[in-house]
Structure 1
Amino acid sequence: MGVVSELFTANRVAVVGATPREGSIGRAITRNLLEDYEGEVVPVNPNYDEVLGIPAVGDVDDADADLAVVVVPPSIVIDAIESCGEAGVRNVVVITAGFGEAGAEGAQRERRLQEIAEEYELNLVGPNSLGIMSTPTGMNATFGPENAIPGGLSFMSQSGAFITAVLDWANDQGIGFKDVVSLGNKAVLDETDFLRTWGDDEETDVVIGYLEGIEEGREFIDTAREVTNDTPVVLVKSGRTSAGAQAASSHTGTLAGSDRAYEAGLDQAGVLRAESVQELFDYAGVLAGQPLPETEDVAVITNAGGPGVMATDAIGDSDLSMASFTTETTDRLKESMPEEANIHNPVDIIGDADIDRFREALEIVLADDNVGSALVLSAPTAVLSFDDLAEAAADVQSDTGLPIATCLMGGDDARAAGRQLQEYGIPSYFDPARAVSSLDALARFRRITEREYETPTEFDVDRERAREILGSVLDRDDNRLGVEAMGLLDAYGIPIPDGDIVDSPDEAESVARGIEGPVVMKIVSPDILHKSDIGGVAVGVDDADVADTYEDLITRARNYQPDADLLGVQVQEMVDLEDGIETIVGMNRDPQFGPLLMFGLGGIFVEVLEDTAFRVAPVAKSEAREMTEEVKTAPLLRGARGRDPVDVDGVVETVQRLSQLVTDFPAILELDINPLVALPEATGDADEAQQTAGVTAVDIALTVDPEQLEAEHND
């Protein structure tokens, strides 16, 4: 693959399949390029001497082009791309559809496209793409109805129709773009490639996008973490519901991952996720035009009490907070504002406020060190010009360097002032909630830029023992493992109770005698997943009752499912559940992002409460700790309602060790440790190797991909 940015800097563009035929895509692309493009356009079509008055050539080899836009029938696209490679054209946009989104034949054609792109090191966009744009050169290599206007946003989308709709709306709003890419099927170049390219582009202020899926989740996270150190990234990710995910798959051929994985992955990547097109451009506008606030504290200045209360409510619902003014600020406001005014936040300078009062209030408030940003909110009155207010807000923002958002609640005059504010990079909204949301996005991005990403801890573990335990599925018909795989956790330093799996009453008694106190006994069978539901678990069994309990458990299992594969009975040390907290630590392997870790309250309540936190593995210590802090039940871990605090550090380390386990073995498709009991006091010998004091994994269930396991073993 070449330098992706060269797609946007081409001096000579060949349109392979250009035609003068009315209504054709080849004509539309050629026409669009001829309108504003500063470079040369070369139609490629052996059937014409010229297209739209421009001399045509019969083969791309004669075009001497930097970029080829291919719009020929699917059956000859492969030959056209191969000709581009042989002619030395390294940048290609494939408009033609009929590839991975069009059944088995199309998928085979797309694979061939990938092979040619790899052979010739092509930067290839598409296929099934609307095309690309770059406003610095006026290049519109799309078949959309209009070009973008120049600006600082670079925009990628998996939907070509979304691009045409957005550009039509954005042009009307005066919103400009630097580069625009219709990703199409992403056979070669994908969202990560363009994210990396625009992150290095000084002319791109904000990267925005509409995505239906992310091809390589981990690579995307790692790339975005570097980009968002300086450049904001805002994405709309569709397919949030199961129905939406299915629609995305059928529309683009993208296998959509779970929305929880995307939520976790985008957050870890430092990407701001917008829930709507309106949010996408609200966030993009404020991030492109305003400085970042130093604090989350917002001052509201308004001439309308009701909207001021609305703004206060919106701030309360966000991660922002209402700024507390210093005594000096309130004294100055008291001296300069009418007696009826409210000099505390929100500052209500009442309905007869003219521009001088607005300006003075804004200057006083933004001089307060406790204020990180301001919201200027105004309803229309006969004594105030919105144009004057826009100029005053721009002046004060320029003087203070603090971010400002405005809420001008009116019609034509408000819209005209909003366009004036837009020239200064100050966003304006009709709805106070949107203004607050934009300031919240600024504060969120500041926190993103302040993140320090740690390297995940590499623990000393016994990989060979773990591989041997996982390999036991190769000798059985079922690919699920249960308590018989507890040694897998032990191999990775996660504490487990003493005990063993036995297949006779005598062995059960022998194991029980080696454990102090009563024991827990459980049926071991891959065919009986919910053992407690059938009476397959006995708790608090004394030594004298172990043999009879063994027989009873086997009988119950046989009666419940005569053909079940019984591996025996687990005899296990009892763990004190009364003083401890039952948690769950698990993993589900997402098709895009890979291992998705979960933490939450465990035991029988996990599915009822659904109080869980997620991260994409591998995770560092700080990320594992964040998981334990995000759940609503986190106070229970730290000693709520008179309980002793449990060993949170032990839980954090267990999450890290599980992260390493599922990263080391991609064959593990899903895994649950439920419950992982966190105790108030350390258990076991603190000096014992690979032991995490204060937590014990009581049960495990996992699913393994045998083919992947064999492939890993062969590697």
Structure 2
Amino acid sequence: MGTLNELFDPDRVAVVGATAREGAVGRAVTSNLLADFDGETVPVNPNYDEVLGTPCVDAVDEAEADVAVIVVPPSIVLDAIEACGEAGVRNVVVITAGFGETGEDGADRERRLAELADEYELNLVGPNSLGIMSTPSGMNATFGPENALPGGLSFMSQSGAFVTAVLDWANDNGVGFKDVVSLGNKAVLDETDFVDHWGDDEDTDVIIGYLEGIEDGREFIETARETAAETPIVAVKSGRTSAGARAASSHTGTLAGSEKAYEAGLDQAGVIRAESVDELFDAAGILGSQPLPETDSVAIVTNAGGPGVMATDAVGDAGLELASFTGETTAALRESMPEEANVHNPVDVIGDADVDRFREALETVIADDNVGAALVLAAPTATLEFDELGEAVRETVADTDAPVAACLMGGDRTREPKRKLQAAGIPCYFDPARGIESLATLAEYRDIREREYADPMSFDVDRERAREVLATVRDREDNRLGVEAMELLDAYGIATPAGEIVDSPERASEVAAEIDGDVVMKIVSPDILHKSDIGGVAVGVADADVADTYEDLITRARNYQPDATILGVQVQEMVDLEDGVETIVGMNRDPQFGPLVMFGLGGIFVEVMEDTAFRVAPVSEPEAREMTEEIQSAPLLRGARGRDPVDLDAVIETIGRLSQLVTDFPAILELDINPLVALPDADGDANAAAVDVRLTVDPEELDLEGPDADPERPHTEEPHQ
């Protein structure tokens, strides 16, 4: 595939399957192109001499087109694609449905479609697409009812119906677009391709999208990060619930990944996530029209006490803060405002304020260096004309570099002032919370642009030793490994307590004698995952009791599950839990994003508390550090109620080593280190110890290397013991 410039800016567009028949998609597409397209529209249909008054050709090779729009029945789409490839048409939009979304036969047809596109190096949109638009040339190659207004938004959607609904709403509200794409089934071109293209497009101010799934999460993260450094990306991701994910799959054939993976992946990609259509266009509107704030401090100027309080609450809810005015600002406000006015933030110019008082207050607060952004909030009164207020706001904003949003609370009298404000690039709302949320979006994007992305953490490890441990599943009926795989962690330098898995009471006693102090003993069985629930764990076992405890653990396991595979008993050094914090480090392999690394509060409460943070691997040091700060129980790590803080660097290193392990070995489907005991800093000691582990391995993937695995990387570092 080549550049997408010609896809959006063609000189000639062929409609393969054009027809004059009323109600036909081929007629709608042809009619839309003939109505506004600056270039030439060429109908292709051997059954017509002309379509809608335009000469028709028999085959696509006669059209000499830059773009071909395919609207023929699904049974002959592949022939049409092949004809396009042979004719040298490099850009194809397949509107026809009946592919991956319809079942096995359709999926086979879609695979062949992708193969043909690859063979002929086609930029192919769809199938099952509404089509595409590009307003600079007036190109409306869709079967939607109307064209888009021109503007700076480029919009992609995995739902064609969402496109038509949005365009109908946008036309009523004066919202314009540069390009519009209905992604369809994404057999070839997907969201990553369009993010990449629009990131280089000087006429695209903001990229927005409705997504039901992402084809290649890792590639999307890398591409979006680069794009978001210059062009904001805002997306609604549906299918957040399990029911929603199933609906998304049946709707477009997309295999939706887990919500946690999308939440982490979109954040790491620098994508601003909207939860509704209102949020999507609120964010897009302000990002495309207002400067970014230097600080998170917001000033509110209002004539309405109650709405002012609502806006103040919204500031805290949005993660912003009320600006603290300088003494000069407060003095200036006190001098120009009535005695009854509140000259502190939020500034209440009181109900009898006219436009001049509003203007004076706004100009004063926005000149304060402590103010990063401002909200003008007005309710209708007999002394205030909204038309005049709108003009005053426009004039004031023209002379400032700080972002300003307006909130005009009213009905008919606000419509024209609101239109003029938005035409001037000043977003205007009825609800104060929406105004504050929009200002928060600017702060969020500022932070995204200021991010410094670090390389993933990388360590010298013993990959061959790790591979040998993973390969043991080939000799088992079960593909799950437990504490018998502790050597896997050792191979990747993850500290584990001293110990051994034994198969006799005599050997248990010998191992315990080599360990200082009492020991922990655990049943080892792939069939018994929750060992503590059946009494399969003994803590603080003295040397004299080790042999009897061995027999007792084996008996309990046999009584609990007679057919369970018992591999033995682990005899392990005790880790001091009094001074430590039980955490969990884990991974689940997501279908779209790959390894999703988890960190959180561990032990027996992990599933109850669900206090966890996630990142898509491979993870950098700053990302791992953020994970330790995000969880609600972070104060426990930093030292709470007189406890010593744990060695966070050791925890962060463990997260990095696990991230490298699961990236290197795609065969690892899921893995939990629980608990990972985080201990206070002690020179010379391992301050994060992996006490227990369980994982699931896909034997068929064992010979595959992850994308970051380097076969030349030296394996010289001695792992922690």
SS at match of 2:680: coil
SS at match of 1:399: coil
Matched, 1:374 2:367: no
SS at match of 1:640: coil
* Alpha-carbon displacement from aligned partner over 1:553-599 (angstroms, at most 9, x marks no partner): 11111111111111111111011111110000100111111111111
Following TM superposition, by how much is the alpha carbon of 1:712 offset from its aligned partner in structure 2, in angstroms? 4.8
C-alpha distance in structure 2 between counterparts of 1:531 and 1:349, whole Å: 66
Matched, 1:698 2:691: yes
Following TM superposition, by how much is the alpha carbon of 1:611 offset from its aligned partner in structure 2, in angstroms? 0.8
| Greater alpha carbon shift after TM alignment, 322-331 vs 672-681 | 672-681
Contact 2:127 2:185 in 1 (8 A): yes
Q: Which residue of 2 aligns with 1:261?
A: 261
Matched, 1:400 2:393: no
C-alpha distance in structure 1 between counterparts of 2:90 and 2:191, whole Å: 19
Alignment of 1:156-555 (within 5 A): 156-555=156-555
Q: Which residue of 1 aligns with 2:587?
A: 587
**Structure 2 letter corresponding to 1:706:** P
**Structure 2 letter corresponding to 1:700:** V
C-alpha distance in structure 1 between counterparts of 2:603 and 2:93, whole Å: 53
C-alpha distance in structure 1 between counterparts of 2:651 and 2:396, whole Å: 50
C-alpha distance in structure 2 between counterparts of 1:529 and 1:333, whole Å: 67
SS at match of 1:84: helix
Q: Which residue of 1 aligns with 2:118?
A: 118
Contact 2:133 2:148 in 1 (8 A): yes
Contact 2:68 2:93 in 1 (8 A): yes
**Structure 2 letter corresponding to 1:655:** I
* Alpha-carbon displacement from aligned partner over 1:128-185 (angstroms, at most 9, x marks no partner): 0000000000000000000000000000000000000000000000000000000000
Contact 2:291 2:401 in 1 (8 A): yes
C-alpha distance in structure 1 between counterparts of 2:41 and 2:13, whole Å: 5
Q: Which residue of 1 aligns with 2:715?
A: none
C-alpha distance in structure 2 between counterparts of 1:101 and 1:525, whole Å: 43
* Alpha-carbon displacement from aligned partner over 1:337-373 (angstroms, at most 9, x marks no partner): 1111000000000111111111111110011000000
C-alpha distance in structure 1 between counterparts of 2:401 and 2:496, whole Å: 56
Runs (4+) off by over 6 Å: none
C-alpha distance in structure 2 between counterparts of 1:611 and 1:416, whole Å: 48
Following TM superposition, by how much is the alpha carbon of 1:412 offset from its aligned partner in structure 2, in angstroms? 1.6
C-alpha distance in structure 1 between counterparts of 2:353 and 2:411, whole Å: 19
* Alpha-carbon displacement from aligned partner over 1:633-686 (angstroms, at most 9, x marks no partner): 000100111111111111111111110000000110100000000111337x45
What is the root-mean-square deviation in Å for CA atoms of aligned residues?
1.1
Following TM superposition, by how much is the alpha carbon of 1:299 offset from its aligned partner in structure 2, in angstroms? 0.2
Following TM superposition, by how much is the alpha carbon of 1:710 offset from its aligned partner in structure 2, in angstroms? 4.0
Matched, 1:41 2:41: yes
C-alpha distance in structure 2 between counterparts of 1:266 and 1:103, whole Å: 30
**TM-score, length-normalised on structure 2?**
0.97
SS at match of 2:382: coil
C-alpha distance in structure 2 between counterparts of 1:380 and 1:464, whole Å: 74
Following TM superposition, by how much is the alpha carbon of 1:388 offset from its aligned partner in structure 2, in angstroms? 1.5
C-alpha distance in structure 1 between counterparts of 2:504 and 2:6, whole Å: 71
SS at match of 1:32: helix
Following TM superposition, by how much is the alpha carbon of 1:544 offset from its aligned partner in structure 2, in angstroms? 1.2
SS at match of 2:586: strand
**Structure 2 letter corresponding to 1:310:** M
Q: Which residue of 2 aligns with 1:129?
A: 129
**Structure 2 letter corresponding to 1:252:** T
* Alpha-carbon displacement from aligned partner over 1:534-558 (angstroms, at most 9, x marks no partner): 1111111111111111111111111
**Structure 2 letter corresponding to 1:698:** V
* Alpha-carbon displacement from aligned partner over 1:239-264 (angstroms, at most 9, x marks no partner): 01010010001100001111111011
Following TM superposition, by how much is the alpha carbon of 1:458 offset from its aligned partner in structure 2, in angstroms? 1.3
Following TM superposition, by how much is the alpha carbon of 1:504 offset from its aligned partner in structure 2, in angstroms? 1.0
C-alpha distance in structure 1 between counterparts of 2:403 and 2:392, whole Å: 14
C-alpha distance in structure 2 between counterparts of 1:710 and 1:198, whole Å: 38
C-alpha distance in structure 1 between counterparts of 2:211 and 2:199, whole Å: 18
C-alpha distance in structure 1 between counterparts of 2:589 and 2:512, whole Å: 37
**Structure 1 letter corresponding to 2:332:** R
SS at match of 2:563: coil
* Alpha-carbon displacement from aligned partner over 1:59-98 (angstroms, at most 9, x marks no partner): 0000000000000000000000000000000000000000
Q: Which residue of 1 aligns with 2:714?
A: none
Structure 1: state its 5+ residue gaps. 687-692
C-alpha distance in structure 2 between counterparts of 1:190 and 1:681, whole Å: 48
Matched, 1:93 2:127: no
C-alpha distance in structure 1 between counterparts of 2:527 and 2:423, whole Å: 67
**Structure 2 letter corresponding to 1:482:** G
**Structure 1 letter corresponding to 2:676:** L
Q: Which residue of 2 aligns with 1:641?
A: 641
SS at match of 1:289: coil
SS at match of 2:399: helix
C-alpha distance in structure 2 between counterparts of 1:623 and 1:603, whole Å: 23
Following TM superposition, by how much is the alpha carbon of 1:711 offset from its aligned partner in structure 2, in angstroms? 4.6
| Greater alpha carbon shift after TM alignment, 534-543 vs 469-478 | 534-543
C-alpha distance in structure 2 between counterparts of 1:290 and 1:202, whole Å: 17
**Structure 2 letter corresponding to 1:328:** E
**Structure 1 letter corresponding to 2:53:** G
SS at match of 1:344: coil
Give the total of aligned pairs. 708
C-alpha distance in structure 1 between counterparts of 2:9 and 2:674, whole Å: 55
Q: Which residue of 1 aligns with 2:79?
A: 79
Alignment of 1:558-569 (within 5 A): 558-569=558-569
C-alpha distance in structure 1 between counterparts of 2:155 and 2:532, whole Å: 53
C-alpha distance in structure 2 between counterparts of 1:227 and 1:390, whole Å: 34
**TM-score, length-normalised on structure 1?**
0.98
* Alpha-carbon displacement from aligned partner over 1:504-534 (angstroms, at most 9, x marks no partner): 1111111111111111111111011111111
Contact 2:29 2:143 in 1 (8 A): yes
Alignment of 1:585-664 (within 5 A): 585-664=585-664
C-alpha distance in structure 1 between counterparts of 2:568 and 2:6, whole Å: 64
C-alpha distance in structure 2 between counterparts of 1:170 and 1:82, whole Å: 37
SS at match of 2:101: coil
C-alpha distance in structure 2 between counterparts of 1:163 and 1:38, whole Å: 22
C-alpha distance in structure 1 between counterparts of 2:170 and 2:55, whole Å: 34
Q: Which residue of 2 aligns with 1:573?
A: 573
* Alpha-carbon displacement from aligned partner over 1:432-459 (angstroms, at most 9, x marks no partner): 0000000000000000000000001210
SS at match of 1:517: coil
C-alpha distance in structure 1 between counterparts of 2:699 and 2:389, whole Å: 68
* Alpha-carbon displacement from aligned partner over 1:356-413 (angstroms, at most 9, x marks no partner): 1111111100110000000000011222221211121111111011100000001122
Alignment of 1:31-70 (within 5 A): 31-70=31-70
SS at match of 2:569: strand
C-alpha distance in structure 1 between counterparts of 2:659 and 2:562, whole Å: 37
Q: Which residue of 1 aligns with 2:702?
A: 709
C-alpha distance in structure 2 between counterparts of 1:392 and 1:666, whole Å: 60
**Structure 2 letter corresponding to 1:651:** V
Following TM superposition, by how much is the alpha carbon of 1:233 offset from its aligned partner in structure 2, in angstroms? 0.4
SS at match of 2:128: coil
**Structure 2 letter corresponding to 1:291:** P
C-alpha distance in structure 2 between counterparts of 1:416 and 1:258, whole Å: 44
**Structure 1 letter corresponding to 2:488:** L
